[in-house]
Each structure stands twice: as structure tokens, then as C-alpha cells.
Structure 1
Amino acid sequence: MSRPDESAVPHGRTGDAGWSTVAPPRLPLGASDPAVAGPYQLEAVLGAGGMGRVYLGRTPAGSAVAVKLVHREYAGDAAFRKRFAQEVAAARRVQGLYTVPVVDADLRADEPWLATAYVPGPSLQHAVAESGPLPADAALALIARVAEALQSIHAADVIHRDLKPSNILLTADGPKVIDFGIARAADLTAVTATGVRTGTPAYMAPEYIRGHTVAEAGDIFALGGVAHFAATGGHAFGGGTDHGVVYRILEQEPDLGGSPEPVRAVAAACLAKDPERRPTPAEVIGMCRRAAGDGGGSGGGAGHPATVVDVPPPRTVPDAHDQAAPGPYALTRTAAPAAPSSPSAPGPGPRPETATGTFGPPALLLGGVAAVVLVIVLVAVLLPSSGSDKQQQSSSPYGSYEPTGGLAFPARAPGPAGIDFSPDGRTLVTGGDDGKIRFWDVASRKQSDAVTQKNTVSNYVPGVVSVEFSPDGKLLATGTGTGGTGLYDVAGRRWLNYLHMGGENVAFSPDGKLLAIGSRTGSVFLFDPAERGDDIVAYFDHEHDVTAIAFSPDGKTLASVGDDSESTSGRSDTTRLWDIAGRDPEPYGQGDPAKVLKQPWEATAVAFGGPDGRTLAVGYPDGEVWLWDVSTGRKKATLRDDYLTEVADLEFSPDGKTLATTAESGGGVLLWNVARGKPSARLVSGDEDGKGKGLIEEVTFSRDGKLIAGADRKDRAVWLWQNPL
């Protein structure tokens, strides 16, 4: 196909914006390029990336769009398609001056594609390469506007995950941020299941590299790298191999030499290694505005006019650090959305579910960029529902129940990761990506203690991703994945042991005499919690990527699940049952598993239970839960529901009659009648139209089965329900 008419779509210009708006030349279609995608006629190649190629397309009426086609290697992966669909749906919710809207998509095509509005400007990467770094004032204006774009993205409950100069397009009206959230689709698919993280290493936050939960602060880290690049054309952590860059991100401070002072100050704040110390988007805007007002940077970069560009004013969202804490507010939700409330004068009662003002984010949404007012009020307090603790039921095919209360985390603290009740039900413990283990007194509804996980490998404080009490409640095991495993004396308030074998999953045997650790490296270790040091009792080789482990109620069997796609034995995607009672006394002498349960893909969660204790529930990324009879190794039932997409967690009630499940895309907690194989109730934390605002990924029962707790990382809260069954 011939080169398209260059006059058909304006390319932009170099002008008063303070940066070049001249788009790079477009490439003609090649022999292997398609001519159409859905209803769009493809005219030229705009670029290519790790996930696909981007084309200039035309609607039937002749309007220009950018069409991104996904590479076939991703398109053939079922898990990617599901994740891609979720992320495209989320991206469609994003609206803002400095973002590019998604206008269409076909996720079932042989090569999935999505179409966005066409922006006829260059990327920041291209502009700096062609014309040199931006002058300081222009760089500050760019940073502020990209921060405003992040506000819009985060307000839609989306994390960009791959913010970088090539994903920022420059126009005379300001920068336009593209590809928000889409990078997440490639994580944990067959293409990236070997531990490689999607994204660009130079702009990856330390917590993302370590595999921890990525929140809004991860995008702020990337923004710091973008700021330094815009002002200098270089990378804050240098160049060279990806491994070298990653090492410097984890272990060294950024090199911001050559960056003008006002830009350097903003970049340094954004590049803090501790996510809690990074500014919010609103704070970044304020920093840029003050720096521009001080006249701190009028020096020009090559090829750019030294003009002063107006920095947009910060959003009118109160800063958590400037707010006095008013009286308490309830954390429970109501079936109908509450009326909007002014962010500067919040009143008591449920959180509003609608946005206020002209800036988009719900003013009192926990965990969002505008959550500061309510979060500061709820620091470290377990609050009851307003008026009454009686659990409210709302209409649903099988009954939906709202929480009776919740735990709110400190401002800027990450949400809970790992959750467990003590055996007596009086204490609830949570982990978190900040390395803090928080103990909550259920009766008084207050945080009773907090300790910091220590690292056995380096001085870095690792995030705690799993916690579990011993059966007698005297010990607490903490899993970090990268920083070892901790064993904590609850009554004595002291660490008893640090095991260098890091694992994301920890589990005590029912008699408390064994501690199992499952690792992403494919190892399952057994320890004697009464011993000190790293001596193991047994080692089982799952061969690749253990995602969950569980003991049988009688303690004779240990189940491990994960992704075995690169197994050296030829086994692919299996659940393995290990004979604990008959294990070899030589720790490294364990043979093959007692049983191997074959499955079509990797598993994400596992739990033993059922009325007879012989049922194994295994959750999968397509949203199905399979129930297995471990005595025969046969599948008994398949559980499916519209609210259950990719299974995040599952746990049986103490009597084994109920199975609780959560999904990574939200939808609350489903309670299943195991005998019937049907859901009997849904525990919600959001509005009644379906998915809710929060994202409950982990669930646990109190030992008497009367209470259920759900960890909500997005709202940075733990919700509590009375068991309705």
C-alpha cells in the first residue's frame, strides 16, 4: 500500500508549548501488515512495542484512530485474553484532559485489537531524541500535566504500570498519556510466567521489580524517571543491561546530575524507594506549580524555546497532612449510593459512591488519590457500622450482605496483603507491602500492635504477603517471597527465627508441629517451628512456581499448586499431593508426589475441606473452582459464577460445608454450598450494581466460623461480615 497523504492528518508543530509537536514520519504498511482491523481501514504503521504494533486507521466516515494489534504470542494465551479484556474495560472508564480515550476494541479476534483517539504528535521519547531535553519550565508543565493524567487514571481504579516517555504523546494542548493499565494483561501469562515483569526496567518501581502489589505510588516512581528524562535526556538509574538498571533501582540512589534544580527536586521526591514517601499526583502538581512560580528554570534545552508554560493548578482535594482529624465515620456501605459530599467538609455516614466537583475521583474513596480526608480520620481504627451492627442484606440472586465494620489503614500505607484470625477469634492480623504486620483487637475494634518484618537477606524491609497463626495461637508465620520467612512469638512480642528460604505461602500443619513454605522457585520446604536456624525437615520439588499450599485436616497430606509449564519432568499445570505422614527421614530424599491431579492450566489457590475433610478446592485463572476427591484423585464438581472471574483466594469454613472465594477483578466474596455446588450468598463491600468499588482478594474465617474477613487492597481496608449461613 502506498504511503498515506501527509496532509490528511495534521502532524502538529513546534511552538509555544515549550516542546516539539512535530510527529515522526509514518511508515507504509508492509506485506505482513493487515489492511483492516474490525471496521477500521489501516493506512500506516505508527510504531511497535513489546505487546503489539500500532497503526493509523480510519473509521468508515474517515476519522483518524490509532489501532493497536496484539502480538500473536500473547493472543494465543487464554489468561492474557481474559486479563486484556478486564484491563480494556477498565481503561474505557478513564476520562481526562491529558489521557487518550479507548473508543473501540475486539478482544475475541484472532489478533485482539483496541482503537483509541488518534494523537498526531510525537512521543516524549522521540521529541527529546530529535530536539534535545526540554527547558525546565516546560518540563515542570509536562510533569504537572502527566500527574493530572495519573489522577484521572487512578480515579478510574486503574494503575498505568508502564508510564515512560514513549507512552506520553506531545501536543500543543499538552501531553497525552496512552496505554494505561494495558501492560498488566501481560503479567503472569504463559509469555511472562518465568518471573519476568512486563514494563520498562528504567521506570519500574522497586516494589514492582520485587513482585509486590503495585499501587498508585508505582506510577509516581515512573513519573520521577520521566521528569529526569524530559529535562536531561538521560535515565535516573543509568543505562546498560536491564540487570544493571534493576540492581541500581533496588540498591542505589538515582543519579539526577544535570537536571535543573526545580525538576531535580520533583524527580527525587517521586523516586523515593519507599512508596509511602512518594508524593501523590496532587502533591506533584503543587510542587511543580510552586517551582514554576519561583522562576526556577528558564534555561533552555537544545531546539526548544525558553518559554514559560502555565502549570495547571492543583486539584481541590485536601491534603492528608493538612487536615485535622474530625469525628469518626462508619466504614460500612449502604445498598443505595449516598449523595455526594463536599471533599472539604465531609459529614458522618457511609462513603459517597459518586464523584464531586469537576475533577473526577470520588472524594472519599479509600485507597484512591482523593481518599485523604476519610483515611486520615480512620487511621488504625476498627469502626462499627453507623447506628447498628446488624448486617444489612440487599437484593441479589442469592442474597448480598454488607459488612458490619472494617479496618482502615493509615494514610499512604499499602492495603492488606495476608490476613488471618487468631484461634480464639479475638485478634486479626494483616501483612502489607510496607513490611508491617498489624495486630487488630476485634472486640475493641482497635489496632493493638504493629511490628516490622526483618529481612534475612539484606537491609531492605520486604513486603509481607502472607500471615498465619499456629493452631495454638502462640506463633505467627510471615511470608515475604524475597526476604525470607519470619516466625514471631505473639505473647512475647519478639522474633524467634528468620528462615532464609523465602516463600510467598506459609501454612502450619493442624497439630502445629510443621511449618510449610511454598516458593515461586518451585520449592516446598517443611520446618520444625520449635527449632531455630534454617535446617529443614523435608524438601519437595514442585519444579516451578508454587502459587499456593495447604495441609489436609488430618495433616497427612500437603497440596501444592502452581504453574508447571516449564517443568523438566514433562508434567504441565498440576496439583501435587505430598505424603507428609510417610515422608522420607532424609530431608532431600523425598520422591515423587503421592498423587498428581492434572488440570488444563496453572492454579491460583488451593484449600482442603468439605464435610469429610477429603475435598480439595483448586481455583483457576478462568474463574472456575474444581472440587477434587483426594482419596480417589477424581474431580467431583466444577463451580462457576459470573462474579467469579480469575480466582484470587478460597477457604473452607471450619465445618467444611461452605467455601468462600474471591476474584482478582472484584465482585466481593462468594459463599458456596459445597454439597450443592452453588453459591448461597455474596458478601459485598461496594455499590449494589455489581462489582463494587473495592477489590477483595483474600478471605478468612474465624475458627468458630461466625466471622468472615476480607482483605481489600484497593480500599486499603479489611471488611468484616457475620457469616450469614
Structure 2
Amino acid sequence: MESLHPGDPRQIGPYRLEARLGAGGMGQVFLGVSPGARRVAVKVVRAEYAEDERFRQRFAREVEAARRVGGFHTAQVVDADPAATSPWLVTAYIPGPSLREVVGAQGPFDATAVRALAAGLAEGLAAIHACGLVHRDLKPGNVIMAADGPRIIDFGIARATDATVLTSHNVVVGTYAYMAPEQVSGEPAGPPADVFSLGCVLAYAALGHGPFDATSIPAIVHRVLHEEPDLSALPADLRNLVAACLAKDPARRPTVDTLVHAPQSIVAPAPSFLPPGDATFANATMNVTRSVPAPAPARRRALLIGAGAAVAALAVGAPAAVLLTRDDGEPATPPPAPNPTGLISPSGSLTGSGLKNLSEIALSPDGRTVAAGGTDSFITLWDLASGRVLRTIQRAGWVSALAFSPDGASLASSASNAGALLVWDVATGAIRVNVRTGGEFGLNAVAYSPDGSVIAGVNPGAHLFDPRTGRAIASAGLGNSGVNAVAFSPNGAVVAVAVDGYYDKPPGNTVQLYDGRTLRRLHQLTGHKKNVLGVAFSPDGRMLASCSADATVRFWDPATARTTRILKTGAAIARDVRFSPDGKILFGACSDRTVRMWDAATGALTGTLVGSGQAVERIVLTPDGRTLAGVGSTKPDGSVTLWKV
């Protein structure tokens, strides 16, 4: 508790405010006094949420649901005003320190105290769930250790389980170190999410630290999604109970009724699979979210080597560490990994009828129109501002590449299953060019030159096409090693090609730089250990970035063909890269369902975009640099995820 700050209100409704009790994700909590001199806790919603009418509607519904919550182990909601200029909620004030304060001052609880805590909190959650609510932010700071038992407080971000979702798509709400995997991923969080949080709280009480604590938010997210906590210090029965609560699969967690009435019957579920190379798991917390090699829709390298190919499903990565290179090109000793400034949740999404898999995306030069396609064999165009579907282009085949012309009038695509280059009229959806590209498989990437005079297309070699006729102007063979991405320099003089290096075929895992008019080879950039997946030039053309399946992003000086910096992405794989319009930020689309933001000058991780429902494979950025859109095809999703950056 602390004194009121100079800018704090002194009165909310009929309640006089006396002190600050704390702050939550949705607002500030004050100690208040009712007209009858009864002490209460008053939560005032932050201004940015108060301005959102959808939030007010949801808040009003949740207040009504929260009023019904009874039970000895919760703080009763006694008053609220969702229509106030700053909406507020009042609960009974429970005197006593928080669980976090008690553990911080006295150390971890013994096993008997943890079992008593588990029983009390499970009873409180049962009362909450019985009223159709999910708490969504159970953590040590929201558990008050009152003289007569633990109490769950702060219903400020609870959601009625039967309510229509009124917030933006995939918004992540809660405290990351205590959130369930599905909640971290921006998916719907039901009662099992509270059980996962309960397991985290019990581990904290018993160990003195959270089971997924780490030094940065991306590292916490990684641990929640893909790592198992060390519970070996707990007694067997308590370890079994906590491990069961921490199961990655919501369906495998115990119910609160079981926790209340038959905790001794809980058995941590056995893992549902064993990834290659692992004989056993220590416990059941790795059930369904640990990545293993798995079939994926054929694209990129798979399009070159046929239907029998498999693409690895890759795990969530730890924070990137910056590696500067020595004069000999080898990485120098890395400095400590930077902490990000925070995570950015999606601002919305684009979807449409019949969409299932989207693996390619393009944005018109004016930033107004988004195009996306994949295995659905059609291309959908949206108005970015309104989210309205403008048109659907049929007969597009299995879309493996997309690019708008510089004037925005044409859209180039490749039909992988037909091995064709297609050019469409954006205004009408009519086809202008339809030519076979000469290979069994289609192009894995296409790009217009800055002046629109040629289209570069790649796989298995590199090619230049006349955009009016589709006629091949120039070609460069790459020994059937496969190609994943292509990019023009800002002046159009150079074409960068990301080589797959399938089965180490020459020229291997390299970036090839060609003349933008003749495809005469200028440089070969070597250093990546596995297939190169994406390339991008900085707006001034002085830097080139590439990403690879070797879990690195490299910066190059294209004039000298030298590596200038290496970023390590941990267990995650960056699959696509884009510079911001001012060249200050490099964005990387990652297999851990995030988009990383790195400072292009220093390599420091400056932020992480989260909440995608699947691995992010391709990204585009609006000309003002304020909106990023991404797609991925690791599971049927059929949507484009949007972030405000």
C-alpha cells in the first residue's frame, strides 16, 4: 500500500480513496471507504480501455457475472459503474499481504501449507467458474493471505465463458509467467487456463519462484509453450498435482472439482508422443506443444523435391543474442541477450469465406490492398482499412508466390501445381499473363523490379520475365538446389536469391547476388549452415538481411559480400525478413508464432509481435511502417494476422 499520487482521483462514485493498493493490466486499484465507513478495494479502468466501446460492453457483462460469485475464498463484488467516464469496480477489501509478499518475506511454504493453499484456491476457482467466469489472471499478487484463509482478488480481466467475445481477435490478456499456453497464444481461455495458472501459483509457493520465470518476456513465452519446469524439489504427491495442472494440453488438466474433492486421485497424464531422440519425458508438461518433425503443406523446398518431403515444425525460440563478426568472418563472443521492451498483441485479422491455408501475402504499394493465397487455389484481396473482401480471384492454382506491381495495377502469382507464372488485373481479377515456367514445380517467390519492367521468379533457378507477356528474358541455373526467396535492391541493379541448398547441392546454403537485368552473378554470400529462407534489402540498399533454417539472421554488406552481424534466434526459425520503411528496424517472421523486431543498427531485440495462431511464414509492412500483416500455413487457419507497430 502506498500514498495517493498527485494525479490520482480522490473520489470514485460514493467512495473516498485513501491509498494505492496496486496496479493491474486493466487499471489502478485503490483503497476506498464507503459512505458507511466500510473499507473497499476500488479498481479504476485505464483511459485507453475506457475509450473502447467494445470493452465497456464486455466490462458491463462481466460485472454482472462477477456479482454472482460467492464462496469463502473470493473477494465479493459490491458495486460498479461501467458507464462512468472511467469505469470502475468495487470489491470487498481483504486485509492481509499477498502471497507474493509472504513468500518474498518468509520464503517458500512447506508441503502441508501448499496443500492447504491448493484446496482454498481451488474452492475459490470453483465458485468463479460456477458463475460462468474465467479469472484469466491468477498469480501470487492476486492471492491475499487473509487471517482466515487465502482469497482470490481482481476480477478486472475476467471473462464470462458464455459471453460473445467483444475484444480484438487473438488479444492476449494476463500476466505471461502465469498464463496457460493457449492464453499466451491468444486463443480462447476457459476454466482449464485458470487451473494451469493455479499450478504456477502453487509452484511459486513451494519453490519461491515461478515455474516459467526467465529474464525476458519472449523467454517466458518460450518456457510456457515448450519447456517443462523443474519440480523435483516437491514431494511426490504435490509434484504430481502441480505437474497435472501444468499439462500443456487443456484437456489433460484436472478440473477444479477434482482438485477440491479428490486431489489424491490426480495422476499427471503420460506424454502423448515422444519426439525423435527423446526416450522419455520427466513429466507430462510437454504433452502437445513441444514441436516434432511433422508433415506440412508442400512449399518452398518441398515443391522442388516432391510430395514425399516433410518440413520441420520448429519450436519456440529464446531471446535473440547479437553476434558481431571478427575480421575473419567468424562470430565474436556474444554480449548478453537484450531484453525486449514488450510484446505487441494483434490489432485484428483478415479472413473470408472458404479460406483454409494461407502461405503467401502481398501488399499494394499504396498500402491499401492485401492479397493472400495458399493451397485453397484462389487469391483473396482485402481493403486493409476496413477488412472488407474486395474480390476473390479463382483458378489461381496452388499459390506459392505473390507480388504487386509498383503501380498496384497488377498482381503476379505462381501456381505451383501447374508450374505457371500468372499476372492478374487487380481491378477486375482478370488474367493478363499465363505461361508455363519451364519446370515441374512453380516459382517459390516472385518480385517486380522497382520500375516494373521485369518480374524476377525463382525455383529451381533464377529467372527474369517480361511482365506484359511472361516471356523469359534471362535465367541463371542453380543446379537444382532449390530457391526460396528473391528481392530486388532499391535501385533495381541487383537481385538477391535465397538458395535452399537441398541435400547440400552446389551452390549450397547461400545468397546469390545477380545483375538485375542480365542475371550475371555478382557475389556469392556464404555463412549460413542450412537452407536460406528469406532475403530483404534495406531501403538505402546498403544492407542485406537473410534468414535461415540454421536459426540465424545475417546482415551483409552487399557491396563487399561480407557478413556484418549475426542474430541468433534460438530454437525458433526466422522464415521471412523485412526492413521498416526508414531502415531502422528489421522484422523477422518466426516459427514460434511471433514476429521479432531488431534494431538494424545494433541488432538489439526491441519488441516481439505475438498472438498468431500458427508459425508466421510471410510478412508485409505498410509504407508508413505502422501496420504489419503476416500469414502461415502450419495448420488450417485461413486468416491474415494484423499488428500495429
The structure showing larger relative contact order (alpha-carbon pairs under 8 Å, at least 6 residues apart) is 2
TM-score by length of 1: 0.44
TM-score by length of 2: 0.49
